[in-house]
């Protein structure tokens, strides 16, 4: 597909790229209502079967996990608090379609800190990402902007024309090392994101429970009828799922008086994550301010895009 200088290009169809595009479309609604719209088309490079979005292979829980109780929060903790507020606003705006958007507002408890109980959001990744695409397509149609989705990723902008570019490749940034990111300080490393899941038809409320000390969590969704359990950090880099590696995790939660399906009924899902220091920026802009790049949300991948996506929209389309 040939692109033009009137196109906005989004590379990466996970929650990072889609939230940046969603907030950009909202900004265009206000900005171009009384002026000429220079944007004629949006092209989303959505990944492929060989390079699926990291957002799909995620246990997809968004929670503050006590960050809101810190009297002297770090900049990162404050970002989490601000992101959670924006996520809650998004949920409130669309909650009448809660079954379709793939988000549940649930209670999170910590077995190591039983007095710490808070609200969390539990996502159904495929459903939520599809909802975002539908929502974005609707907004772009109202603005008379064409919207194309390409099942591929690109690592070079050479010979590609565009008005603005949003890059949200996650761990693929370190794999592809795109030429348009030479100005970014791509530190960090690729780590494995893996979780166990199991279908169940039992009737019980949705919930999230975590172990602060063991750095793992478990959830049940009444929407999807899925149990999930995963670890917050896994230094393995192989993309080959190994269910037996997580048997200890299953044993841990079985010992907490949860009546779980037999281990042989569970399946494993894995993907890649880009882990960076919390002190490093997650959003970069090119010198000419035509390219925005977002990466490194890691285990807060379903929380930080609600803040960083809006930041990208405000900065990239500020003119």
Is the pLDDT score of 143 beyond 80? yes
φ/ψ of residue 213, rounded to 5:
-75, -40
Most confident of 44-48, 160-164, 187-191, 308-312: 308-312
Q: pLDDT value at position 279?
A: 63
From the list 284, 92, 62, 54, the residue with the least C-alpha distance to 182 is 284
Mean pLDDT to the nearest integer, 255-277: 86
State the SS3 of the chain. CCCCCCEEEEECCCHHHHHHHHHHHHHHHHHCCCCCCCCCEEEEECCCCCCCCCCCCCCCEECCCCHHHCCCCCHHHHHHHHHHHHHHHHHHHHHHHHHHHCEEEEEEEECCCCCCEEEEEEECHHHHHHHHHHHHHHHHHHCCCEEEEECCCCCCCCCCCCCEEEECCCCHHHHHCCHHHCCCCCCCEEEEEEEEEEECCCCCCCEEEEECCCCEEEEEECCCCEEEEEECCCCCCCCCCCHHHHHHHHHHHHCCCCCCCCHHHCEEEEEEEEECCCCCCCEEECCCCCEEEECCCHHHCCCCHHHHHHHHHHHHCCC
Q: pLDDT value at position 237?
A: 46
Identify whether the C-beta of residue 293 lies closer than 8 Å to the C-beta of residue 184.
yes
Confidence band, pLDDT 50/70/90 cuts, at residue 272: confident
List beta partners, residue 204: none
Separation CA 173–CA 164 (nearest Å): 18
Separation CA 279–CA 62 (nearest Å): 20
Q: What are the pLDDT digits (tens) for 275-318?
A: 766 666 788 888 888 999 888 788 888 999 999 999 999 999 98
- pLDDT: is 238 or 67 the higher one? 67
Q: pLDDT value at position 35?
A: 67
Q: Domain 7-316: give its CATH architecture.
A: 3-Layer(aba) Sandwich (3.40)
């Amino acid at each position: 597909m040939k692109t033009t200088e009137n196109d906005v290009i989004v590379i990466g169809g996970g929650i990072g790229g889609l939230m940046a595009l969603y907030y950009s479309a909202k900004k265009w609604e206000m900005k171009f209502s009384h002026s000429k719209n220079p944007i004629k088309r949006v092209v989303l490079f959505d990944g492929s079967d060989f390079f699926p979005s990291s957002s799909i292979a995620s246990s997809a829980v968004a929670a503050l996990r006590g960050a809101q109780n810190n009297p002297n929060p770090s900049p990162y903790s404050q970002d989490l608090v601000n992101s959670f507020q924006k996520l809650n606003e998004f949920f409130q705006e669309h909650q009448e379609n809660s079954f379709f958007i793939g988000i549940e507002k649930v209670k999170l408890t910590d077995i190591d800190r039983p007095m710490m109980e808070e609200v969390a959001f539990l996502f159904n990744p495929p459903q939520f990402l599809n909802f975002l695409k539908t929502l974005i397509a609707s907004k772009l149609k109202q603005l008379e902007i064409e919207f194309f989705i390409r099942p591929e990723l690109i690592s070079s902008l050479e010979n590609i024309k565009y008005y603005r570019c949003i890059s949200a490749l996650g761990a693929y940034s370190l794999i592809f090392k795109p030429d348009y990111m030479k100005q970014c300080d791509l530190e960090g490393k690729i780590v494995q994101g893996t979780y166990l899941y199991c279908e169940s038809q039992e009737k019980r409320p949705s919930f999230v429970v975590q172990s602060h000390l063991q750095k793992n969590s478990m959830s049940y969704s009444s929407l999807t009828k899925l149990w999930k359990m995963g670890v917050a950090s896994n230094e393995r880099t192989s993309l080959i799922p190994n269910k037996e590696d997580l048997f200890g995790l299953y044993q841990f939660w079985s010992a907490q008086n949860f009546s779980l399906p037999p281990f042989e009924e569970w399946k494993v899902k894995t993907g890649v994550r880009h882990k960076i220091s919390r002190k490093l920026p997650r959003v970069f802009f090119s010198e000419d301010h035509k390219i925005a790049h977002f990466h490194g949300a890691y285990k807060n991948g379903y929380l930080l895009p609600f803040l960083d996506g809006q930041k990208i929209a405000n900065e990239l389309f500020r003119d």
